């Protein structure tokens, strides 16, 4: 694992995973994709981690694919390209499916696969200096591996526009189309994220994981009897769980639940 290409800091249950290639605008290659996937899985397994923040060192959040990696890809066979793309798809699915709540801290440019990382996080807070671009068609390529997540965020109509124009857009446009939740001044970015993490540290960790999975599942299904049965089962299960019982008991007894201690 090339730990110098990223760094992880953990403080009071909040893990900040920072892409650490500022000289390359935090572009990623096959090695970094593998390392980030492994690191996300490691954080997933740590019970004390309550929230994961994804950040970028330097001016850019992430410029997407690294130039040297692209040069290598030019000589790949179709099978090599398929394996390469599956690794990137695996990183996106790992981030999107992480049980811990995730926040994208977007302080600068997010291009190509960098937009995919933003789309896979539960919450995206952008600096007013941030910019975005789905630039793949400029190279005769398509944003295939990230497309399910980006399209889910911004909707098909907006995705069709930005996939084919490869135009650069600012943070306010990203907010308008649903790619990011909030835009704040650059010097307020960390303060706003700290407010959110403080809010989430007061929530039940298992309940947040279940709520996140609930949102993923109901968005992909039909509102029918099967979904009604499934969602009713989920709330029944969590009400009788130790965490659910503690949360309800704390509320009724007007005290803080044990997980906030």
**How far is Cα 244 from Cα 259, in angstroms, rounded to an integer?**
11
* pTM of this structure: 0.90
Reading the block at residue 197, the tokens are 């993490």
CB atoms closer than 10 angstroms to residue 60: 24
CA-wise closest residue to 114 among 88, 139, 90, 84:
88
User: Which residues, 6+ apart, have CB-to-CB distance to 70 below 8 Å?
Assistant: 139
* pLDDT at residue number 100: 96
* pLDDT at residue number 3: 54
**How far is Cα 99 from Cα 6, in angstroms, rounded to an integer?**
21
* pLDDT at residue number 236: 80
**CATH architecture of the domain formed by 3-200:** Alpha-Beta Complex (3.90)
Q: 203-260 falls under which CATH superfamily? A: Lyase 2-enoyl-coa Hydratase, Chain  A, domain 2 (1.10.12.10)
* pLDDT at residue number 1: 47
- Which residues of the chain carry a pLDDT beneath 70? 1-3, 223, 261
- 3-200 shares its CATH topology with 203-260: no
CB atoms closer than 10 angstroms to residue 111: 22
* pLDDT at residue number 102: 98
User: Which residues, 6+ apart, have CB-to-CB distance to 214 below 8 Å?
Assistant: 231, 234
Q: What is the pLDDT of residues 84-141, one digit of tens each?
A: 889 999 999 999 999 999 999 999 999 999 999 999 999 999 999 999 999 988 988 8
């Amino acid at each position: 694992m090339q730990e110098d290409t990223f760094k992880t800091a953990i403080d009071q249950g909040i893990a900040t995973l920072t892409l650490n290639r500022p000289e390359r605008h935090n572009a990623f290659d096959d090695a970094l994709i593998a390392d980030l996937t492994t690191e996300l899985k490691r954080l997933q397994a740590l019970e004390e981690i309550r929230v994961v923040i994804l950040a970028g060192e330097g001016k850019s959040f992430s410029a997407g694919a690294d130039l040297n990696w692209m040069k290598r890809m030019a000589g790949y066979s179709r099978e090599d390209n398929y394996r390469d793309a599956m690794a990137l798809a695996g990183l996106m699915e790992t981030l999107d499916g992480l049980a811990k709540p995730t926040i994208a801290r977007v302080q600068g440019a997010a291009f190509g696969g960098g937009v995919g990382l933003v789309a896979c996080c539960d919450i995206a807070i952008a600096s007013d200096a941030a910019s975005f671009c789905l630039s793949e068609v400029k190279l005769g390529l398509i944003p295939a591996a990230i497309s399910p997540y980006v399209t889910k965020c911004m909707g098909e109509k907006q995705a069709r526009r930005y996939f084919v124009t490869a135009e650069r857009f600012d943070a306010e446009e990203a907010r308008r189309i649903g790619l990011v939740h909030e835009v704040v001044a650059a010097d307020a970015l960390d303060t706003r994220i700290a407010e959110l993490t403080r809010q989430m540290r007061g929530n039940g960790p298992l309940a947040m994981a279940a709520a996140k999975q609930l949102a993923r599942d109901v968005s992909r299904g039909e509102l029918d009897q099967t979904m009604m049965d499934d969602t009713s089962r989920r709330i029944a299960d969590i009400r009788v769980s130790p965490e659910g019982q503690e949360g309800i008991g704390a509320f009724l007894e007007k005290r803080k639940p044990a997980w906030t201690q």
